[in-house]
Amino acid sequence: MKGFRIYILALMVFPVSCDNTPPVPSGLMVEFIRDPVGVRIMDLKPEFTWIVPHEAKRQTAYEILVASSVRNLKSGVADIWSSQKTISPQSCEIEFGDDNLYPGKTYYWKVRIWDENSQPTPYSKIQSFTIGDPDGYITTPNRFLSALNPAETIVRSDDNHYFIDFGRDAFGTLFLEFNPTENDTVIIHLGEKLSGTHHIDRNPGGTIRYFKVLLPVTRGKKSYTASLPPDKRNTGPAAVHLPDSFGVIAPFRYAELENCRFSLKPENISRKVFSYYFDDDASSFASSDTILNQVWDLCKYTMKATSFTGIYIDGDRERIPYEADAYINQLGHYYTDREYSMARISNEYFIRHPTWPTEWILQTLLMFWNDYMFTGNTESIGAYYEELKHKTLSSIAREDGLISSKNVTDEIMAGLGFSNVKERIRDIVDWPPAQKDTGWKLAGPEGERDGYEMVEINTMVNVFYYRNLVLMSEVAGILGKLDDSVFYHSESLRVRDTINSKLLDKSRGIYLDGESSLHASLHANMMPLAFGIVPEEHKKTVIEFIKSRGMACSVYGSQYLLEGLYREGEADYAYSLLTSTGDRSWWNMIRCGSTIAMEAWDMKYKPNSDWNHAWGAAPVNIIPGYMWGIAPAEPGFKKAVIRPQLGSLKHSRISVPTIRGTITAEFSDTEGDKEYTINIPGNMDCDLVLLDGVSYKLTPGFNKLIFKKVR
């Protein structure tokens, strides 16, 4: 770094337990499941993963033992399968090497490795797993969690009225345990929003939830669960249905009890909440900016709170999976937990259940690519290769390479996975649209499209198409389909050149909304920036235009806006958007009273919004993936890259889970002296790339880099 003296200290830390036990492989996974107890593994040839301790630095060999009993395994008897000592650095996704696993049977496994000096470690702890019957999905679903949340606040306003605050919104129901002295009816109010200090808003607006429940109580009966009414919209045929054991659940933070003729104590009331398997301690973030910290907390909690269906959904209003919601949800989930099954199941769901927006279809391949990069597993892209070719929409390209949804046929709709082939995909750009586009009065006069002119050849659609061609070329190459790889690569270059020749106004140096349009929007420019299409000579004008528009997009669009800004080094402006306190900001969601990311910046921008929408949680992947710049440089984090763009932060620390273990990093800026301390898991390469472009190779363990400012 120019103007700095550089001190690089590679500090390898070797923690030793009190009994001098050497480190062993940890973080065992079977088919991406970390704790397989209670899970049925839906693959008769499951794959095994573990974390190599950083003390070992590199794995040179491994040995997996699988047995029919703990006793056998403790005795070293692998009566089901032994990999033998296998010379390989591979520590992720190693397939079971025999054919003798059977549905309904429980098995036990452990692993040991040889370190970079070819010295063996002791065996890992033993993990059990049970085989289930394959159900048509490639991925094994993880299990659900339920917990009883205690009340954070109980306020008694009069003899028979109580107000309860559980601290955060969550999906569940109310559980009461007390001993009534007489038969009576308790009136229960549950909601997400307050009206006044200790009063739930009975008319919160939009899809913000409120329920009134009459609970008959009977002398002698001690345990009660509030019976919530089902919502026809989120329990209909298109919705993701919950297990029967859940009953009806809904999001709420607050409860009020009326006609409660007993003294309510903390042990009498709790909220039973549901979520997908989630490790709260797997990730963390803190910095010198308190607003940014709260934005992170809001968005991280969103990942857990909205996972209750086991598949990425749009929120509580419909509980329907949409590809655009899932893209943001997937990345946020990856950066907050070492969990991959929910994303993979969602991806497989979209193969069979696509949604109508053109751009949503075009995000399917992006999600499959994310899965491959974060896990290193090729099963999904291999199994659904032909379907993914359809999802690129190359079948609707015209002679110059650009696509139009007007070219869709029944046959194409069938290839995309639509059961109703008469349905047609339509361009969406962003949501909600303006009244002039749809007449939908709730959207307001402008909507979230920044005045985008909806023409047949749409810039945003075609930029997504370009990205699909790039990724399809990569996928084809990985799978050994070389002719396809060459075809998609050449098409990507042709489409990029056509976009820049026909949709870029070179006199103004910005992109127009589409062919025949004279209007330029934020969306038409942020997408080429995010996907690397903008020619070098026009980057300055495109970036200036983007910065002139502010946050003129929805919470969904902000994902790509921020991706593009960080891609081109506009960290200070991106940081200003992340920490904005205006009404189009994540801080505004907190100010409104929501504890889960909202569907829109504010109710006035989408008056039918809900308060539990993961597509509003972009910062939880942007902060680790773009501000800190921690990302897989090679599939399955075989190699990581860290490109920090921390702006004006004086200090920050972060932990990011990966399939190979947790990357932790800390930064401090003391009067211009900058210091990075980064811990890299074993069996992982990593480059630290700073803003001046200089790259530093990090080794497994703790690495410290000090940059002393020349004074």
- Average pLDDT score, the chain: 94
* pLDDT tens digits along 385-407: 999 999 999 999 999 999 999 99
For residue 593, the tally of other CB atoms under 10 A from its CB is 16
What distances in angstroms separate CA 165 from CA 150, 176, 228, one per listed residue?
9, 15, 18
DSSP 266: G
C-alpha distances in angstroms, 286 versus 182, 278, 334, 586, 624? 51, 20, 18, 16, 11
Half-sphere exposure of 257 (CA within 13 A, CB side): 27
Predicted local confidence at residue 157, as pLDDT: 85
pLDDT at 263 (0 to 100):
87
Instruction: Check residue 7 and give its pLDDT.
Output: 67
CATH 2.60.40.10 residue ranges for the chain: 26-131
Confidence (pLDDT) at 138: 84
To the nearest 10°, the Cα dihedral for 510, 515, 517, 518?
A: 40
Can you give the length of the chain in residues? Answer: 711
**C-alpha to C-alpha distance for 273 and 203, rounded to whole angstroms:** 24
| Counts for the chain of helices (H) and strands (E), in that order | 18, 29
Q: pLDDT by residue (tens digit) across 500-533?
A: 999 999 999 999 999 999 999 999 999 999 999 9
User: Does the domain formed by 144-276 have CATH 2.60.200.20?
Assistant: no
- Enter the tokens of residue 682: 């074993």
Instruction: List, for residues 528-559, the tens digit of each pLDDT value.
Output: 999 999 999 999 999 999 999 999 999 999 99
- Which tens digit of pLDDT belongs to each residue from 179-234? 888 999 999 999 999 998 899 999 999 999 999 999 999 998 999 999 999 999 99
Domain with CATH 1.50.10.10 in the chain: 284-627
Q: pLDDT at residue 18 above 50?
A: no
What per-residue confidence (pLDDT) applies to 522? 98
Residue 440's pLDDT is: 62
- The pLDDT of 624-632, averaged and rounded, is 98
Contact 312/326 with Cβ under 8 angstroms? yes
- Is pLDDT of 14 > 50? no
Phi, psi of 449 (to 5 degrees): -100, 5
CA distances (Å), origin 592, targets 329, 603, 654: 22, 9, 27
How high is the pLDDT of residue 163? 97
Average pLDDT value for residue range 250-265 = 94
- pLDDT (0 to 100) of residue 15: 42
The CATH 2.60.420.10 portion of the chain extends over 4-11+638-709
pLDDT at 624: 98
Strand partners, 610: none
Q: Does the structure show a pLDDT above 80 at 461?
A: yes
| 3-state class (DSSP) for residue 129 | strand
Q: From edge to edge, which strands make up the β-sheet containing 630-632?
A: 630-632, 639-642, 685-689, 695-698
How far CA 87 is from CA of 61, 82, 94, 118, 634, in Å, comes to 4, 14, 13, 10, 21
Cα 540 to Cα 558: distance, rounded to the nearest angstrom: 20
CATH architecture, range 284-627: Alpha/alpha barrel (1.50)
Q: What integer is the mean pLDDT of 620-641?
A: 98
CA distance 335 to 621: 6
Q: Tokens at residue 535, please?
A: 């020619």
pLDDT at 262: 85
Per-residue pLDDT tens for 100-121? 899 999 999 999 999 999 999 9
Which of these ranges, 18-22, 480-484, 568-572, 688-692, has the smallest mean pLDDT? 18-22
* Cβ count within 10 A of residue 687: 14
Tokens at 162, concatenated: 């109580």
CA 397/CA 141 separation, integer angstroms: 37
pLDDT band at 21 (very low <50, low <70, confident <90, very high): low
Average pLDDT over residues 79-84: 97
Predicted local confidence at residue 524, as pLDDT: 98
Q: Which two tokens stand for residue 289?
A: 């900016």
Q: For 56-63, what is the mean pLDDT?
A: 97
Burial-class residue 134 by CB neighbours within 10 Å (0-12, 13-18, 19+): middle
Superfamily, domain 4-11+638-709: Maltose phosphorylase, domain 3 (2.60.420.10)
3-state secondary structure of 680: strand
Mean pLDDT of 58-86: 97
pLDDT class of 444 with cuts at 50, 70, 90: low
Q: Locate 239 and state its tokens.
A: 């919705």
Nearest to 268 by CA among 176, 203, 350: 176
Fold of 26-131: Immunoglobulin-like (2.60.40)
- Kindly report, as residue ranges, where domains of CATH 2.60.120.260 are found in the chain: 144-276
The DSSP call for residue 633 is S
* N- to C-terminal Cα separation, the chain: 14
**Dihedral of CA 456/461/463/465: which sign?**
negative
Structure confidence at residue 709 (pLDDT): 82
